[in-house]
Structure 1
C-alpha cells in the first residue's frame, strides 16, 4: 500500500507547489529538462484543488513547504543551509521559512511528560504554562520545579511526530527516485543523498536526549567564555521526548530598544557574538549552527544566552587549521598563501595551476576589501570562495557549507546590533590567536606527543608485528623477485619498534 499512498502524496505535494507558484522555482533548481517540466505540470494540473495556498507573504517555495506541514518546513530549513545542492537563489528564499506552527494542546504535552518521566506533571512541576513557543518538531512550556522552585523550560515533542516524519521522508525518497529517473541532469545534485542528509538531521532532533547531550558538551566547552551562558540541562527530568532545562531570563537579542533600556553597549554585544562564534568553531570545532536572534537572549548583566541545540556543527581539528589559515590569508591579503593552503590540503586537484588559482582568489578578496565596513561580510567571502574553488575542481565540503551559512546568520545578528561593525577587525584577533596556538612550535610539539601516544599503544603487539614481518620476509626470499626488497619488512618493524620505544619514553616522562 505504500506505493499508492506515496503517489497520492506526491501528487498533493506537486499540486501545492503548482498552486503556490513554487513549481517552476523547484524545477529550475534541479535543472529539470523540458519534457519533465511538461510532464510534472500536466500531471498535477487536474489536482490543483488538492493543493494549499499557504501564507502569501512568504516566497513561493517557502509558502508551499509551510502549507504542506512540519516535515516540509524542516526540509526547507535544511535545504536553506545547502546552497551547494539547491542553488543560492532557492536557498535564500527558504531562509525566510518560519518554523512556527500552532501549538498542540497542553493536555497532550502533560500526557507526554507523564509517559516519559513516569510521574504526573503536578508531581514534578508547579505553574505549568500554556506553550510559550511552538515549532515544527516540539513546543516549549514554562514551569517551576516542585522540589526547588526553580524556573524551567520544558521542551516536548509533538505527539506522533516521529511517525509523521517517517511517512513524509518515505515520500521524499519516492520523489527523489522519480526525479533521478526522469531528470538525468539532476543526478549531479544527488537527490537521494539530499534526503539521506535530511533524514539524519531530523532523527537527531527527534531524540531530545541527543539535543541534551549537545547542550551539555557545548556548555563544557564554553564554561570559561566571559559573557556567555547556557541553560543547564536537568537530566533527571529529561528523556527521549522531553527535555527540561533552566529558564533563561533576558530580552531577545533582536530587541534593540530593550537592550538600550538595559544600558548595554550594542557595538560590544555585536562584537562579542561574532567572536564567540569564531572561537567555538576554531577552538572547539563544535558550534551552534542555528544562532539566529530567536535563539539568543541578553541577560540583565549583559551575558549572551544561547538555547535550542538541535542543530550543531562539527569540524575536525585538521579542517579547522586549514579554515583558519584561509581566513587569515584573506585578512592579510596574502592570496598566494591562501592558494597554497588549498593545494596542501588537497582541496584543489594537484593538476591545477596554483598561480592561476591565486589570481582568482585575488579577484574574490580585493572587491570585498574595497567595501565600507557596513558591507564587508566574511560569510559572503566564503560563498564567493566556494564558487571559485568549484571552478578549479574542489569537491563540496558539507561542514564548511554549514559553517558559511551560520557565519552569514551570525553576521546578520551582529550587524542588527551595530550596523557599522567592521567584520575583519572583529575576526582578526580570534583568527590570529588560533593560528599562533595551533600552528606554532608549541602546537607542533603537542602534535608530536599525541602521535607518539597513539603509536605507544601498539607496544604490546610489537613482538607479534616483528615476528610476522620476519616470517613474511623469509617467505619472500623464496620468491624469484625477493632481491628487490630484501629488508623492507624488517626495516619497517625496527622503525616501528624505535617509534614505539620513543612513545613509551614520552609517556613515562
Structure 2
C-alpha cells in the first residue's frame, strides 16, 4: 500500500510543478497541447521550466536529486536553461537547520560541539541530497588547530529512500513481466545494485574509508588531491576531514584567470578516470561538477580536488580485463575482436554470428572516430547502440551500471572543459600501456609473488595429508593411488619441460614488449 501511495505522491508532484506540460508540449500534436492546457488549469506555472523541474526533483527526495545531478552534466542533451537549473542540485539543495546538524554532532561524539571545535560555522558551505557540510576549526589531541570540513548526514533519509526503492522494485518487476526487452535489461538486478550503493552512502564511516583508499591509490600520481580523514571524529552520521581549498571546476573563467590550463585539465581528468578504473578497479562514481574542485595553491597548482566519496565503484580483475580488451580493440577499430569478446563473455547468445555482430558494431562506432567531443551526438550514438543491443539480445551487466553512469559524468565534464578534446586519442596510450602490463613478464612475477604465501603454507602440510589419506583408504584404493602417483611423476617431468619452454616464452615476451614500447612510446 505504501508503494502505491508513494506513486500517487510522485504523480501529484509532477502535476503540481507542471512536468506533464514539459512532456506533452514537446510533441507537435494539437490534441496533446490541448491536454497540457487542461492539466495546467488552476496551477501557477509562471516559474521557468528548469526551475520547476529542479524544485520537483528536490521535493521528491534524494533518488530523484541524484537523477537530476546526472542529467545536469549532459548539456549536449538538455536545453541550456534546464541544465543551468539542474546544476544547482550538485551542491545547493536546500539545507536543513544548523541546530539539527549540531545536535547530530553532539549525539555522535557525546560531547558539546564547543569542546570539539575552536570554531564552527553554522551556515553550511554545501548542501546535497544526503548530507551537508560545515567548515570548522578542530582542536586535535595535541592542542593543534586544524581547518576541517564537517559532513553531517541529513536526518530522516532512510525511510524516504526505502519508499522510493520499494516503488522502483515494483516497477522493475512489472517491466520484466510485461516485456522481453525488460527481462534483457535486468531491471531488478539494476535496482538491487542501486539499493546497495544508496545504503552504503548513508554510512559516513564507509565513505571515509573509501576516501582513504582512493587517497592511497592516487598517491604518487600528482594529478588529484583527496582530503585526509580525522578518524577520531568519524561516525556513521558525521565525519570530519581535512579542509580543501579550491575553485569549483564549473567556474571556468575564474580558473582561466588564475592561469589554469583548461585543456590539460580535461586530459588529466581522463587519465585519473582510467587509472582508477583499470589500474585499481576502485573509482569515484559520483563525479559531477559539485564534487570536483581545482587547486590554485602554488604547491599543488592545477590539480583536481575530489570530494564526496559516498558512492564508489569496484571492478573485479575479470571485469577490468574484459573492459580493457574491449576499449583497446575499439580504439584500434578491431570490431571483430569486440564482437568476439561479447560472445566469449556471455553478453550475447553463444550462437550469435561474429561477422553480423562485427558489422553492426562497425556501423555504430565508425562515424564517431577522429572527432572532437563537440561533434559527437551522444543521443544518436546511444539510440543506435540500444537498437544494436536489442537486435543481438545484449544483456545489461548490473555490476557495470556505476561505471556507465561515471562515464556519462566524465564525458559531460570533458565536453564542458574542452569541446575539442579527442577522447579516443587521449585514452588510447593509457590503455595500451595497461594492456602491456597485464600480459608482460612483470605481471607473471607479480602473480607468483602474490600466491607464494599460500603455497608456502600448503606445501609442508602435503606429506601429512597424504599419509592420512592413505591410512583411511582400503588396499585397492591405495594401489590405485600408487598408480596415480606414478602417473604424476610422468606428469611432473612433462611440467619441467613446459617450465623450461615457459622461460623461453617469457624471454620472448620481454623482447616483444621492448619492440612494442619502441613502437608506441
TM tier, shorter chain? 0.7 to 0.9
**Aligned residue among 191, 194, 210 for 1:214:** 210
**Aligned residue among 13, 17, 25 for 1:16:** 13
Deviation at 1:71, TM superposition (A): 4.9
Deviation at 1:254, TM superposition (A): 1.5
Alpha-carbon RMSD? 4.5
Pick 1 or 2: higher relative contact order, CA cutoff 8 A, min separation 6.
Answer: 2
C-alpha deviations, 1:27-79, integer Å up to 9, x for none? Answer: xxxxxxxxxxxxxxxxxxxx999x998976249987644332335434x4699
User: Which ranges of structure 1 fall in alignment gaps of 5 or more residues?
Assistant: 27-46, 82-87, 478-482, 504-509
Deviation at 1:140, TM superposition (A): 0.6
**Residue 313 of structure 2 aligns to a residue in which SS?**
strand
Which residue number in structure 2 is paired with residue 201 of structure 1? 197
C-alpha separation in 2, matches of 1:380 and 1:476: 70
Sort the Cα spacing of 1:339 and 1:9 in 2 relative to 1 into closer, same or farther, 3 A: closer
**Residue 442 of structure 2 aligns to a residue in which SS?**
helix
CA contact (8 A) 2:61 2:160 kept: no
Deviation at 1:433, TM superposition (A): 1.1
Counting only pairs closer than 5 Å after superposition, residues 387-402 of structure 1 correspond to structure 2 as: 388-389=388-389, 391-402=391-402
Deviation at 1:378, TM superposition (A): 9.7
**Aligned residue among 250, 260, 271 for 1:254:** 250
CA contact (8 A) 2:135 2:150 kept: yes
Deviation at 1:389, TM superposition (A): 4.7
Which residue number in structure 2 is paired with residue 114 of structure 1? 106
Counting only pairs closer than 5 Å after superposition, residues 224-303 of structure 1 correspond to structure 2 as: 224-300=220-296, 301-303=301-303
Counting only pairs closer than 5 Å after superposition, residues 11-410 of structure 1 correspond to structure 2 as: 11-20=8-17, 57-58=49-50, 64-74=56-66, 76=67, 96=86, 98=89, 100-129=92-121, 130-146=123-139, 147-170=143-166, 173=169, 179=174, 188=183, 192-300=188-296, 301-369=301-369, 371-372=371-372, 374-375=374-375, 388-389=388-389, 391-410=391-410
Deviation at 1:411, TM superposition (A): 2.3
- The TM-score with structure 1 as length reference comes to 0.76
Deviation at 1:163, TM superposition (A): 3.9
Sort the Cα spacing of 1:348 and 1:248 in 2 relative to 1 into closer, same or farther, 3 A: same
CA contact (8 A) 1:379 1:405 kept: no
C-alpha separation in 1, matches of 2:229 and 2:293: 17
- The TM-score with structure 2 as length reference comes to 0.74
C-alpha deviations, 1:365-423, integer Å up to 9, x for none? Answer: 21111535643599997886576455334321123332232122112222322221111
Deviation at 1:439, TM superposition (A): 2.0
C-alpha separation in 2, matches of 1:361 and 1:385: 8
Deviation at 1:216, TM superposition (A): 0.5
C-alpha separation in 2, matches of 1:52 and 1:239: 44
Identify the range of structure 1 (203-212 vs 384-393) with the bigger mean alpha-carbon deviation: 384-393
**Residue 127 of structure 1 aligns to a residue in which SS?**
strand
C-alpha separation in 2, matches of 1:475 and 1:63: 81
**Residue 234 of structure 1 aligns to a residue in which SS?**
strand
Deviation at 1:212, TM superposition (A): 0.4
Deviation at 1:271, TM superposition (A): 0.8
C-alpha separation in 2, matches of 1:387 and 1:454: 48
Which residue number in structure 2 is paired with residue 32 of structure 1? none
Which residue number in structure 2 is paired with residue 40 of structure 1? none
C-alpha separation in 2, matches of 1:470 and 1:24: 80
CA contact (8 A) 2:186 2:395 kept: no
Sort the Cα spacing of 1:347 and 1:6 in 2 relative to 1 into closer, same or farther, 3 A: closer
Which residue number in structure 2 is paired with residue 425 of structure 1? 425
Identify the range of structure 1 (398-407 vs 486-495) with the bigger mean alpha-carbon deviation: 486-495
1:416 to 2:416 alignment: yes
Counting only pairs closer than 5 Å after superposition, residues 491-502 of structure 1 correspond to structure 2 as: none
Sort the Cα spacing of 1:376 and 1:108 in 2 relative to 1 into closer, same or farther, 3 A: same
C-alpha deviations, 1:196-252, integer Å up to 9, x for none? Answer: 333312211111000001000000100111131111111111111001111110111
C-alpha deviations, 1:414-444, integer Å up to 9, x for none? Answer: 2322221111221122111101111223324
